[in-house]
Amino acid sequence: MKKAVFSTLGLALLLSTSTAVASAQEAAPATNGLTPSSVLEYHEQEPNDSFEQANYYFIGDAVIGRLGTEGVPGVWEAYDVYKFKAFESQEVHFTIQGDRTSDSWLQMTVYDSNGTKIKRSRDGRYFLDVELEKGKEYYLAVEVFPGLQFGGRIFDYKVSSEVVR
C-alpha cells in the first residue's frame, strides 16, 4: 500500500513539474520584449534641476518626484529634468499624475538634446504624446504652471510613459 501511495505521489509531482516547465516555456516568448527598465518605478535623485543634472529615465519607467520643497540643502525645487534616449523611432505617451489646484497644475515639456523645445503639455492636460527619432537623446522637464512661490504649495507627482507606436 505504501508503495502505491508513494508511486502515485511521485507521478503527480513529476507531472506537475513537467506542466510548470512547459507553461514557463510557452510564456517565455511573450516576455522576451520586456526589459528590466520597462517595469521600474523609482524616486528622482537630487539634484536634477537642469539639463546637466538630469536624472536618466527609460521609456516605460515610472518616476516619482516632488516640487516646491528644498531638494538639495539650500536649493528650492521648482523644476525637475529627466534625460532619455529613443532606441527606436516611435511615438511615446507620457502621463503625469499629481496635484492640481484651481490656479496651478503640473506641466511636462520635451526638449531635444540641444535644449530646443519640441512639445509641451497644454491647458492643464496631464499627458503628452511625442514623436521620437531613433538614436536621439531628449529631456523631459516637469514644472508647475504658471509657477511656484517660494515656501508655497508642494506638488508630488509620478511620471510614466509607454510606447504608442
Residue 20 has pLDDT above 80, yes or no: no
Q: CA-to-CA distance for 44 and 140, rounded, in angstroms?
A: 13
Q: Which has the minimum average pLDDT: 30-44, 59-73, 82-96?
A: 30-44
Torsion sign across C-alpha atoms 74, 75, 77, 83: negative
Per-residue pLDDT, 114:
97
pLDDT category at 93 given cuts 50, 70, 90 is very high
What kind and span of H or E run contains 5?
A: helix 2-31
Provide the phi-psi class of 151: left if phi over 0, else alpha when psi is between -120 and 50, else beta.
left
Looking at residues 83-105, what average pLDDT do you find?
A: 94
Q: CA-to-CA distance for 91 and 154, rounded, in angstroms?
A: 31
| Radius of gyration (C-alpha) of the chain in whole angstroms | 23
Cell of 138: 531628449
Query: Rounded to two decimals, what is the model's pTM?
Result: 0.75
CA nearest 155: which of 59, 69, 36, 61? 69
Residue 3 has pLDDT above 60, yes or no: no
Per-residue pLDDT, 94:
98
Q: Rounded mean pLDDT of the chain?
A: 81
Q: What is the pLDDT of residues 101-155, one digit of tens each?
A: 888 899 999 999 999 999 999 888 999 999 999 999 999 999 999 887 777 788 9
| Contact of 61 with 41, CB cutoff 8 Å | yes
CA nearest 160: which of 79, 52, 82, 47? 82
Q: Which has the minimum average pLDDT: 3-17, 35-49, 115-129?
A: 3-17
Per-residue pLDDT, 153:
85
CA nearest 82: which of 137, 128, 34, 123? 137
Per-residue pLDDT, 73:
78
Looking at residues 2-11, what average pLDDT do you find?
A: 44
Residue 53 has pLDDT above 60, yes or no: yes
